[in-house]
Structure 1
Amino acid sequence: MTVELLRNAVRPYAWGSRTTIPELLGRPVPSPHPEAELWMGAHPGDPSRVVGPDGTERSLIDIVATDPVSQLGTRCADQWGGKLPFLLKILAVEEPLSMQAHPSAAQAAEGYEREERAGIPRDAHHRNYPDPTAKPELVCALTEFHALAGFRDPHRTVELLRAIDTPGLTKYTELLAAQPDAAGLRALFTTWITLPQAALDDLLPAVLDACVLHVKEHGEFDTECRTVLGLGETHPRDAGVLAALLLNRLTLSAGEAIYLPAGNLHLYLHGTAVEILANSDNILRCGLTPKHVDVPELLRVVDFSSADMPVLCGEPESGFAVYRTDAPEFELSRVEWAGGDNAEVVLDGDGPEILLCTAGELLLCAEDGSKVELPKGDSVWLPASDPAIRVRSVGAEPAHLFRATAGTCSAKAHL
């Protein structure tokens, strides 16, 4: 068995938590600085290190590049040019991230070539497309997880805007009321994010005051108004605060997930989650950030269709809950053991896998009798060439396992 432990990079972004990732990894709490993301994969910015039997470490990028067919499987290696197509993360969101959307594969390829021809350095702060690939993502809650994602039904948004109506807001409310569809959402969104700063400085405080009144009166849109007030406190002059009024406000329970395809405008607010995404850095930001915002390019990418955001609970499949999406780059699944439950799950796939233990302790057993212990916070790399392995919980505590695979690989699990 070539199952090997991973040493993973922690990303210290300012919006992260000083307790979540240290607790998961068994390190002292609190950490000296915010820790926002734990990366598991072969991203060139911070690849995982694979720990060999003798304790030596090698970059997962180098291991995959040395023998992509053995590591990824023929189909995955051919489709993704010998590179691992997904990245697995732990997100520890203490403060809201930027509001953003990601391009489709065609948009990313076209944008990348356009910026290459223009001679924009790939690490330039105003570069929109540092790579030519799509960036779909799925986030699965480990704790109660709060997010804004996708445009709310415009009829419902009109009800919200009328509930917090102020003189300066009325004309925008009626703009959407007159055309409650994708075109109307595009028109209102575009109007708000391109407002001159002087006009925004007049409108936004009045809207925030109206939200305060709505909360005091225990109005129907209490949660939405509290969210906008929180964003307005940290970004008092940002048009993204207004844009937040247009998005679905979600609270996920542990085990629930949302899938964010190309064009979905979203913002993570607070909580801990497992995220799986395509191995890309292409982000078009809307606001709520000091980073570069390219409004014309954002409008080319954002999908203005509207509906309730689907919440995925995982489809049962042979002991796993599988979060099915149309993303070819990845698939995420999980299995949970109750305390004292030592039932085995067998993993038998034809592609690369990363396994992550988020609770309890697991034991991985191979056909040759070799074993690997996997305590909470640890993860392992399973090459495609590995034979089937058996996984079970050890100890009396509940145990949770997340399994990341490439979406093109026909991985199977059975009890």
Structure 2
Amino acid sequence: MRVLAGLVRPYAWGSRTAIATIRGLPTPSAHPEAELWFGAHPAGQAQCLDAQGHPVRGLLDEIEADPAAALGTTVIDEFGVRLPYLLKVLAADEALSLQAHPSSEQAAEGFAREDAAGIRVDAPERNYRDPWHKPEVVLAMTPFDALAGFRDPARTVELLRELSLPALDPYLGMIAGQPDSAGLRALFTTWITLPEAVLADLVPAVIDAAVALAAGGGSQFDAELRTLLELGEAYPRDPGVLASLLLNRIHLEPGEALYLAAGNLHAYLQGTAIEIMANSDNVLRGGLTPKHIDVPELLRVLDFTPVSQAELSPAVSVLGAERIYTTPAPEFRLSRVELDGTGMHHPSTISFDMPGPQILAVTAGRIDVRGGGETITAASGQAVWLADADPDVIVAAASSKATFYRARVPL
């Protein structure tokens, strides 16, 4: 058992309050804090702390020092000598890039292809930085907004018609004439490959039409229009602004989640959430970013099958104090645990006896983790690492209330 200190990633879209508040630090922070990583990714690893709270070594180093004890033979046999998942707190004050992730087969092929081409793994134009896929779950801690998955084309036809913009008529005809995944592919491909000179006229015209529609009131697409205007203000010549018209605009309340499989086009817009993903860094971007965009490769991995929010929602089950979010991903399972030190509203303790590497990330209060005659305490903003070789543990609230998120491999 180890207490972990997470790694803060200061991306420009991050919050100056959310992660600092979770960590019990003054706000606003000096710089935007976008993500707090609890994991063993080569690009950034959590730090194992000693009894005095001082870093002693990174979690990746801890695992590599004794892989069998850290991961267990079952995990090593299936995933190799690597922690299969990465757990994060994500805090977005601005929209992230429009992106998708490859399947296992696409990632392996793309990684080998770019290696053979001699492209450095850290090169800005590199698409595949490892040979693994990256399914992910985002679980809202606060109200959380996102674009995810291609909407039912019939609804998109309604939205484009409401905008009532003659410049959109040729594109409306494409999707109205073929309201299925093939029509979505054709329209998205057309928009994302438009010349910049065309985008310079079309995107502002769409924004003006959205302003007029919103001002008239009564639109069934108020949330979509607001998002379009916000994205258009930040990226006035970006095809990702047009692409947002094709995606589900989703609002999550705390405790609600999305599961994003390979090929799902998405962009997180605003809010604080727990995110868990397969331990990969493969991202193919489609807009809303100054970073590298490879349109042909993105089109190769995208899944244009229309989906609903319900189809993107993980299955949820409750076992005592644990709320479990189940997905098809073999690398991870995420759950949320609320403990009550007073024992009045929730249990004050919970026991874990399942094998495999686990991380318990604390986001409110404090927890005591007891096992093998040892007790360690983790406060909000810290986590606990449980190696496969560690004994069964009992987790107790060390404050009046405590909330933590449990990541494990669903063995």
TM-score (norm 2): 0.96
1:353 to 329, 352, 358: 358
Q: Provide the secondary structure at the position in 2 that maps to 1:63.
A: helix
**Matched-pair identity in %:** 53
Q: Name the residue aligned to 1:330.
A: 332
Measure the CA separation in 2 of the matches of 1:29 and 1:290: 28
Q: Give RMSD over aligned pairs.
A: 1.3
1:155-174, aligned counterparts within 5 Å? 155-174=154-173
Give CA-to-partner distance per residue, 1:72-122, whole Å, 9 cap, x none: 111001211111011100001011000000000000000001101111111
By how many angstroms is 1:337 displaced?
3.0
1:24 to 22, 25, 38: 22
Is the CA contact 1:256–1:313 (under 8 Å) kept in the aligned structure 2? no
Q: Name the residue aligned to 2:368.
A: 363
Residues 1:39 and 2:41 aligned together: no
Is the CA contact 1:314–1:333 (under 8 Å) kept in the aligned structure 2? no
Measure the CA separation in 2 of the matches of 1:308 and 1:117: 39
Residues 1:401 and 2:404 aligned together: yes
Measure the CA separation in 2 of the matches of 1:113 and 1:100: 21
> Which amino acid in structure 1 is aligned with residue 224 of structure 2?
E
> Which amino acid in structure 1 is aligned with residue 402 of structure 2?
A
Q: Which piece of structure 1 moves more, 333-342 or 239-248? A: 333-342
Is the CA contact 1:313–1:321 (under 8 Å) kept in the aligned structure 2? no
Give CA-to-partner distance per residue, 1:141-178, whole Å, 9 cap, x none: 00000000000000111111111120100111121011
Q: Name the residue aligned to 1:89.
A: 88
Measure the CA separation in 1 of the matches of 2:341 and 2:84: 34
> Which amino acid in structure 2 is aligned with residue 376 of structure 1?
S
Measure the CA separation in 1 of the matches of 2:399 and 2:299: 52
Q: Name the residue aligned to 1:128.
A: 127
Q: Provide the secondary structure at the position in 2 that maps to 1:191.
A: helix
TM-score (norm 1): 0.95
Q: Which piece of structure 1 moves more, 197-206 or 52-61? A: 52-61
Q: Provide the secondary structure at the position in 2 that maps to 1:171.
A: helix
By how many angstroms is 1:53 displaced?
4.0
Q: Provide the secondary structure at the position in 2 that maps to 1:292.
A: coil
Measure the CA separation in 2 of the matches of 1:272 and 1:56: 26
Q: Name the residue aligned to 1:176.
A: 175
1:8-407, aligned counterparts within 5 Å? 8-53=6-51, 55=54, 57-218=56-217, 219-310=219-310, 311-312=313-314, 314-338=316-340, 340-341=342-343, 342-368=347-373, 370-396=374-400, 398-407=401-410
By how many angstroms is 1:338 displaced?
4.8
Is the CA contact 2:3–2:377 (under 8 Å) kept in the aligned structure 1? no
Give CA-to-partner distance per residue, 1:122-155, whole Å, 9 cap, x none: 1111100011110111100000000000000001
Q: Provide the secondary structure at the position in 1 that maps to 2:44.
A: coil
Q: Which piece of structure 1 moves more, 264-273 or 191-200? A: 191-200
Q: Provide the secondary structure at the position in 2 that maps to 1:251.
A: strand
Give CA-to-partner distance per residue, 1:230-260, whole Å, 9 cap, x none: 0000000000000000000011011111011
Give CA-to-partner distance per residue, 1:303-355, whole Å, 9 cap, x none: 00002123347311343111111111111011123573253210111100000
Alignment size in residue pairs = 404
> Which amino acid in structure 2 is aligned with residue 253 of structure 1?
E
Give CA-to-partner distance per residue, 1:169-188, whole Å, 9 cap, x none: 01111210110000000000
> Which amino acid in structure 1 is aligned with residue 241 of structure 2?
V
Measure the CA separation in 2 of the matches of 1:144 and 1:300: 33
Measure the CA separation in 1 of the matches of 2:386 and 2:288: 39
Q: Provide the secondary structure at the position in 2 that maps to 1:314.
A: strand
Q: Provide the secondary structure at the position in 1 that maps to 2:167.
A: coil
Q: Which piece of structure 1 moves more, 169-178 or 342-351? A: 342-351
Is the CA contact 1:135–1:282 (under 8 Å) kept in the aligned structure 2? yes
Measure the CA separation in 2 of the matches of 1:146 and 1:393: 31
Q: Which piece of structure 1 moves more, 262-271 or 20-29? A: 20-29
> Which amino acid in structure 1 is aligned with residue 41 of structure 2?
H
Q: Where in structure 1 are there 5+ consecutive unaligned residues? A: 410-415
